[in-house]
Structure 1
Amino acid sequence: MEATGIGIWGVPIAIFAGAIRVSTPFIFVSLGETITERSGRINLGLEGTLVFGAMTAYAIAVLSGSPWLGVLAAMATGAIFGLGHGWICKWPKVNDIAIGIAMMQFGLGFAFFLGKPFIQPAAPHLPSIPFGAWSNLPQLQAALNINVLFILGGILALFLWWAFRNTRIGLVLRVVGDSTDAARAMGISPDRVRLLATAVGGSLAAVGGAYLSLYYPGSWNEGISSGQGLMAVALVIFARWNPIGCFLAALLFGGAGALGPALQSVGVTQGYYLFYAAPYVLTLVILIATSSPTRSLAGAPGALSLTK
């Protein structure tokens, strides 16, 4: 988005627009991982699920002419990946982290293999809503041209925040995530709950991939993801497993990712590329700040562990 026409005000407008565009995959992946981790399981394979979901959505949209069918297909494949991860992890002495890394590599490789025929064909894009029609500034109009998935992500964050506290499903999820023994004493099967939670988490992560290929950047290629799936795990920790916190943290990550392009749009030509690393630096800072050998993280599910 060109911002030079409105001077220095172009920077915050460009960052705002970029935050919305860049944050949407983070929103869906982090909400999916929040559901998974609330059940007491961690899934580091969401990067592979994200990329495979992007490929599936793009391919189905090309073949059917409907981007929404592409999103639904991505959700189905994401659920399958989640079910596979959850089924393997239910066995004794199986490490969640190792399985997640294996699933990530499998998803990336399988997506690149199946997606080669769809690199060139053009797919229809997901729709957006022009909230900036009232303005005569093209920069502001572009900034307020908001994709439907971003809005759905905000609604989903509010719903999950409410559901975790006020529904039986939310209570069951929290009990399983806090104590496996307590869940069994209540007649709840932790393995079944974690299996379903991982499937739902994978399904949402694949929606983030569908956004990448069908809206921004809006194409399918092997470099479509820049580690959003892995960074979303740090985002969940930063948000303390709170869905609304995930939504706000995703906007923060999105704004950090938009900083470099925003500076470039107002003519900053030296050193601006260093700001492209801002999301990765932010991820590293969060991981360091939240790591401690002597204290547990506030809000962390009691049964969540990196090892078994």
Structure 2
Amino acid sequence: MEGDAGWLSVLVAILGGAIRVSTPYLFVSLGETLTEKGGRVNLGLEGVLVMGAMTGYATAVLTGEPWFGVLVAGCAGAMLSLVHGLICSLPRVNDIAVGIALFIFGTGLAFFLGKAFINPSAPRLPSISLGGWSDVPQIRSALEINVLFLVGLALALFIAWGLRNTRWGLVLRTVGDSSEAAEALGYRVNRVRIAGTVAGGFLSGIGGSYLSLYFPGTWNEGLSSGQGLMAVTLVIFARWDPIRCFYASLLFGGATALGPALQTVGITANYYLYGAAPYFLTLGLLIYSSSRQHALAGAPGEVSISR
């Protein structure tokens, strides 16, 4: 019975960890979906994520309001992405190169400005406890759901609906599939793409604020472990579908939570191998997405590294 209870706690820990860890993946992948639906690729979202984490944490420290920190983090992400969008609107500029530069610039600027906020403690975002039925502390802790996770789920549903059923969704998809057709219809391609990029950066910045204000709930230079870059792979795996982004985010979150969950039942051997599970998953999904049957299936027509 004790062994069964132990493995039950592992499953609950993986589920709870998947929910906790998936939230940044979800926001960044939704942001990149909006960006790529407009025909632009932003590989700088790792820098946007880290900048959002820093600005959100710093704002919460200075004001004592974590939700205001979330808003500021989103605005910081939007500003960085605006720079990306404006530069990429220039002739013969490559999205990939600008994204890499934004990645380096965003992380470097966040580390420089965030030095003063490594030690101060910021108020955390509230959570909803769904584990009150259990007397086991690990289960109660695993089933604490942050409000931003629920917001991300609602956004995934809203964006999926909006892309199919609203005028702005139609315009964004038209620009992303064929800029020539969009121009023939009278749409300003660069403006639409910049708007999509800025909206994507806003969501990615919010994802960064989750890292510093809830889980792990602190600010330091090693806060992000490449979630921004892995989220780009996640979008390809999800076929640019917001609902699939939600499920894929849970998959990545569960892979990240695997190692800590196994520790709860005393399995410590090969811990670092389990810790590398998200990166193995990323590599596997890249190989899967590059197969002849799945390569760029569902990709917007204007998304290309050659543009």
TM-score norm. by structure 2 comes to 0.97
Instruction: Within 5 Å, give how 1:285-300 maps onto structure 2.
Output: 285-292=284-291, 296-300=295-299
Residue equivalent to 2:21: 22
Residue equivalent to 1:143: 142
Any idea what SS the aligned residue of 1:162 has?
helix
Residue equivalent to 1:49: 48
How many Å separate the matches in 1 of 2:263 and 2:139? 17
Q: Deviations over 1:59-116 (max 9, x none)?
A: 0000000001100111111110111000000111100000000011000100000000
How many Å separate the matches in 2 of 1:73 and 1:4? 46
Residue equivalent to 1:265: 264
How many Å separate the matches in 1 of 2:70 and 2:145? 17
Choose 135-144 or 298-307, whichever is displaced more.
135-144
Q: CA deviation at 1:139?
A: 2.7
Residue equivalent to 1:229: 228
**Contact map agreement 1:4 1:265 (CA 8 A) in 2:** no
Any idea what SS the aligned residue of 2:260 has?
helix
Instruction: Within 5 Å, give how 1:88-237 maps onto structure 2.
Output: 88-237=87-236
Structure 2 segments unaligned to the other structure (5+ residues): none
With over 3 angstroms needed to count, the CA separation of the structure-2 counterparts of 1:127 and 1:217, relative to structure 1, is same
Q: One-letter code of the match for 1:166?
A: N
Any idea what SS the aligned residue of 1:299 has?
coil
Q: CA deviation at 1:141?
A: 1.8
Q: CA deviation at 1:124?
A: 0.2
Q: Deviations over 1:259-288 (max 9, x none)?
A: 111111110121132111010011011111
Q: One-letter code of the match for 1:125?
A: R
CA RMSD of aligned residues (A): 1.5
**Contact map agreement 1:86 1:195 (CA 8 A) in 2:** yes
Choose 137-146 or 75-84, whichever is displaced more.
137-146
Identity %: 63
Q: CA deviation at 1:132?
A: 1.9
Any idea what SS the aligned residue of 1:134 has?
coil
**Contact map agreement 2:288 2:294 (CA 8 A) in 1:** no
Q: CA deviation at 1:126?
A: 0.4
How many Å separate the matches in 2 of 1:27 and 1:266? 29
**Contact map agreement 1:59 1:70 (CA 8 A) in 2:** yes
Q: CA deviation at 1:140?
A: 2.5
TM-score norm. by structure 1 comes to 0.96
Q: Is 2:246 the counterpart of 1:241? A: no
How many Å separate the matches in 2 of 1:99 and 1:193? 18
Q: CA deviation at 1:296?
A: 4.6
Residue equivalent to 2:251: 252
Q: CA deviation at 1:185?
A: 0.7
Q: CA deviation at 1:292?
A: 4.7
Structure 1 segments unaligned to the other structure (5+ residues): none
Q: One-letter code of the match for 1:234?
A: T
Q: One-letter code of the match for 2:39?
A: G
Q: CA deviation at 1:137?
A: 3.1
Q: One-letter code of the match for 1:37?
A: E
How many Å separate the matches in 1 of 2:145 and 2:123? 17
How many Å separate the matches in 1 of 2:91 and 2:285? 31
**Contact map agreement 1:4 1:267 (CA 8 A) in 2:** no
**Contact map agreement 1:51 1:108 (CA 8 A) in 2:** yes
How many Å separate the matches in 2 of 1:294 and 1:224? 36
Choose 162-171 or 136-145, whichever is displaced more.
136-145
Q: One-letter code of the match for 1:154?
A: L
How many Å separate the matches in 1 of 2:171 and 2:199? 15
Residue equivalent to 1:10: 9
Choose 284-293 or 262-271, whichever is displaced more.
284-293
**Contact map agreement 1:4 1:10 (CA 8 A) in 2:** no
